[in-house]
Amino acid sequence: MKKPFEVVDFTRIEGQPCPCGVARRAFVDAADLPITVHRTSITADARVHYHRRLTEVYYVLECGEGARMELNAEEISVRPGTCVLIRPGTRHRAIGPMEVLIVVSPKFDEQDEWFD
């Protein structure tokens, strides 16, 4: 019988390169869960990209002073505790070093990363 819960230790998940930096993706194999949760380390300005199907929610855990998000060419300041909803089609990137928790719905699909 399947357990009714799962626990993930992000420090034990291998980091994967992504346009934002290095992502540790949790619950990828949980077939009954329609999302993935990523802890992403951004050490430099990320590359502008967008998703055609995926919705992302960024929650800023830590960031340097002056950290920002670029959303459709508009820059917004972020700080720890800031939460940003990014709908499909929104060109986006993180600017400055930060550590973010990202919830992705539906599950993350690297084939849905697009660059202009």
Q: In CATH, what number is assigned to the domain containing residue 66?
A: 2.60.120.10
Closest CA to 67 of 93, 36, 105: 93
Within a domain: 116: no
Within a domain: 45: yes
Domain count of the chain?
Answer: 1
> Model-level pTM greater than 0.85?
yes
Once rounded to an integer, what is the mean pLDDT over residues 20-38?
A: 95
- The per-residue pLDDT for range 32-64, each reduced to its tens digit, is 999 999 999 998 878 999 999 999 999 999 999
Within a domain: 2: no
**Structural domain containing residue 38:** 16-109
